[in-house]
Amino acid sequence: MADLERVLVLAGGMSPEHEVSVRSGRRVAESLRRLGVEAHSADIDAALLERLRRDPPQVVFPVLHGASGEDGATAEILELSGVPYVGAPPAACRIAFAKPTAKALVAQHGVPVPRGVALPKSAFHDLGAPALLERVVDRLGLPLFVKPEQGGSAFGATSADSPEELSAAMVSCFAYGDKAVIEERIEGTEIAVGVLDLGEGPFDLPPVEIVPDGGVYDYAARYTPGRTEFFSPARLSEAAARAAADAALTAHRVLGLRDYSRTDLIVDSAGRVRFLEVNVAPGLTETSTFPLAVEAAELDFARVCRDLAFNAWNRGRAD
C-alpha cells in the first residue's frame, strides 16, 4: 500500500451535476491526503490529455456525475491514455447510464421493476402529445413518475398525479434529455444500496433509507444538509433487506460494473423491492448515501477510497 503515492481525482464536468461532482471530488482528494497519498484534482478539459501524457498519475479516481462521467466517455479516454482508473469499464458505463437498458437487463435476471415505457421527444411531436399521453395513462394508470433516460441528481424527474401534471412533467423532462422514461409510481420506502469491491469480490453495504422532509427527494433534498433524514441501516424487514441486497448485487454483476456502485430501489408496503436505477459513480458528498452506507458498515471512508485507488493501480500494472 505504501507504493501508492499519486492519485488524480477527476471532478466537475459539463453536466448539470457539476457542483455535486466538485464536492464529491474534494472529499475524495482530502480523504486520500489524510492517509498520506498525494492527491490532485482536475476537470475534464482541453488540458487533461496533455497532463496525462506529460505527468501521468499512478491512478485516476473519476467522480464525474452525469454525461461524460457516467456514460463511459471518461473511461474510454483513460483507456486510450493507458492510465489505470477507479470504476466501471466503458461498455458497462454505457449500459448502466441508459436507464431503460439497465432496467431491462436486471429484470431479465429476476429483479422486479416498475412497469413503464421509454419514449423520445420526437414521438410526441410526430404523433401528437395529447393522444400519446392518453395511451400512456390508459396503459400504466396514475400516478406516474417521469425522468430523463440518462442523468441523475433528480434533474428533470417529476411525479404526476393527473394527465395535466403528466404533460408538465414531460416538458420538464425534455429540458434535460431527448428521451423520457415514464413509470408507474410505486408508493413506499425509497432506499439506496451500495455495492463495494475491495479486491475480494463485490459485497453489499447496509441499505440507506431516504426520508425527505417535503416527501420528494429532489436536488435540494439530496444536497442541502438537514433537508432529508437518513436511516442506515434502513428500517426494513429482514426479508426486504435481503431482497434489496440481492437486487443491488445482481445489478452490479449483470451490468458488468466494477469497484463500487449504488442501486436505487423502492420497497412497497408489502415488502416487495423494485429496481429503479443504478449509478456507476455515486455521489460522495457529506449528504450522499454511499458514504453513509460505508460508515454504517463500520468502514473508514478514507481507507475505502485509498483501497479502491490501490486496487485500480494494481489492475493497471497487471495488464
For 277, the enclosing helix (H) or strand (E) is strand 273-279
In degrees rounded to 5, what are phi and psi of residue 181?
A: -105, 120
- 36 Cβ partners below 8 Å, 6+ apart? none
* DSSP secondary structure code for residue 215 in this structure: S
Considering the candidates 70, 183, 277, 307, report the single residue annotated as catalytic.
277
Indicate if 161 belongs to the active site. no
Considering the candidates 279, 288, 306, 311, report the single residue annotated as catalytic.
279
3-state secondary structure of 2: coil
- Pull the grid cell for residue 121: 421527444
Indicate if 219 belongs to the active site. no
How far is it, in rounded angstroms, from Cα 55 to Cα 160?
A: 51
Considering the candidates 87, 223, 261, 311, report the single residue annotated as catalytic.
223
Indicate if 17 belongs to the active site. yes
Please state the three-class secondary structure of 154-173 as a single string.
CCCCEEECCHHHHHHHHHHH
Location of C-alpha cell 461498455: 91
Considering the candidates 23, 27, 94, 262, report the single residue annotated as catalytic.
262
Considering the candidates 66, 116, 151, 283, report the single residue annotated as catalytic.
283
In degrees rounded to 5, what are phi and psi of residue 157?
A: -100, 125
Question: Torsion angle, CA of 202/208/212/216, rounded to 10 degrees?
Answer: 40
Considering the candidates 17, 70, 149, 307, report the single residue annotated as catalytic.
17
Indicate if 223 belongs to the active site. yes
Considering the candidates 70, 149, 264, 307, report the single residue annotated as catalytic.
264
Indicate if 264 belongs to the active site. yes
Indicate if 116 belongs to the active site. no
Indicate if 260 belongs to the active site. no
Location of C-alpha cell 501521468: 56
How far is it, in rounded angstroms, from Cα 308 to Cα 158?
A: 35
Indicate if 153 belongs to the active site. yes
**Beta bridge pairs of residue 275:** 265
Considering the candidates 153, 261, 288, 311, report the single residue annotated as catalytic.
153
In degrees rounded to 5, what are phi and psi of residue 267?
A: -115, 120
* DSSP secondary structure code for residue 298 in this structure: T
The residues annotated with a catalytic role in the active site are 17, 153, 223, 262, 264, 277, 279, 283
